[in-house]
Amino acid sequence: MLQIQLFRTDKNRIIEGLQKKNFKDLQIVDAIISLDEEKRNIQQQSEALAASSNAISKSIGQLMATGKKEEAEQKKQEVAQQKEEAKALAAKLADAEQQLHDLIVSLPNLPHTSVPAGKTPEENEIVREGGKMPELHAEAKPHWELTEKYDLIDFELGTRITGSGFPVYKNKGARLQRALIQYFLDYNTEAGYTEFQVPLMVNEESAYGTGQLPDKEGQMYHIQDDKFFLIPTSEVPLTNIYRDEIVKETQLPVKMTGYTPCFRREAGSYGKDVRGLNRLHQFDKVEIVQIAHPDKSYDTLEGMVKHVEQLLQNLELPYRILRLCGGDMSFTSALTYDFEVYSAAQQRWLEVSSVSNFESYQTNRMKIRFKDESGKIHLAHSLNGSSLALPRIMACLMENNQQEDGIHLPSVLGKYMKDLILN
């Protein structure tokens, strides 16, 4: 959520940022500024009325002490009338505050100055590429055929049990999934991240805090009776661990990691782009989250990007890093880097991670703050990244490493898999 002070001091920056994100309803900015002025006027009236009531109340005792009962009674009536006026102003103030809040949360985060202009994924900037492109044998297959050939994943069984987008992993496919999760968690904890095991459902306050509400309610599975949401990513419960908390400046950065299944309703159901593991309703992911000092959050972001990049290098996968343009960024992000891995059998790039700085957008909603040495309270910055999402990593590992005698996994997984050949 954008801070109201910015509307009071730099309207042009807000307009420019919203335009870069291709946000169309720019008249909301003027409406927010107008409502903010109205709210402050009401507050001034309320404060003036309270001061007047206090002064009159004090005078009543003096009048009574000097025997001026009639004048004291008139003053009491004045106070009673002012109390009614104060109630009306309080109701008016609450209404203005609610309207103001509803408008502010409808606006996306403003993009960082380094974010390129653009509306589509084709306008994202390639920051760098790494890894070696594989050379496949003549009979190479896409992962959905490999998983059937080697009995690793059963997509039809998942459809029968639940529906499309809910695969069943089995045999060495299940073991590979488990091995990757353990490897990612070990890699993160060795880098100083504290591991958490968090709930898979969150309440409305938590979903609002990270920006899923009110922007993405249609993308989440909603348990209506309990008003819970199945998490789209562990970013939501992990970041909310510090909701309404004030930490010491010396505690920053706070580094958290966690593994969870993730649930998303928006998965597609037709075409090769969403076939197999390419897009699912339920999938596993390991996440990294940091709560950082505002002055250091972009250094933190670069560190998280290098952290994820090294993980892909360890897996020996060809990858590229993209800086997303304004039109392709999430509602809450100020700057996002996407990681894509090349799928040789499909001959296309697949997104496997997003690493983002949200600046104070989420922390303002959740009131995640820190206290400096002087005792002053500030909003922290929040960042998160996938480290990594499992489905497309598995797809690329299988496709890029297939040989005629089976799928040869990278040696880094030797600690977690007894057999590095899937056949």
Binding site for L-serine: which residues? 233, 264, 287, 384
The residue type at 385: G
CA distances in angstroms from 103 to 12, 25, 33, 96, 293, listed in the order given: 18, 11, 10, 11, 28
Query: Of the candidates 350, 328, 330, which has an alpha carbon nearest to the alpha carbon of residue 122?
Result: 328
Where does residue 153 rank: exposed (0-12), middle (13-18), buried (19+ CB within 10 A)?
buried
What residue numbers does the annotated binding site cover? 233, 264-266, 287, 351-354, 384
Residues in contact with 253: Cβ distance below 8 Å, sequence separation at least 6, in sequence order: 290, 291, 292, 293, 296, 300
How many angstroms separate the most distant Cα atoms in the chain?
109
What residue numbers does the annotated binding site for ATP cover? 264-266, 351-354
Torsion angle of C-alpha atoms 198, 201, 205, 209, degrees rounded to 10: 60
Determine the Cα angle at 96 with ends 92 and 99, to 5°.
Answer: 140
Angle of helix 390-400 versus helix 171-190 axis, rounded to 10: 120
CA distances in angstroms from 35 to 85, 94, 95, 137, 156, listed in the order given: 20, 12, 10, 65, 54
Residue 246: which H helix or E strand, with range?
Answer: strand 246-248
Angle of helix 297-314 versus helix 171-190 axis, rounded to 10: 140
Query: Of the candidates 361, 359, 371, 365, which has an alpha carbon nearest to the alpha carbon of residue 247?
Result: 371
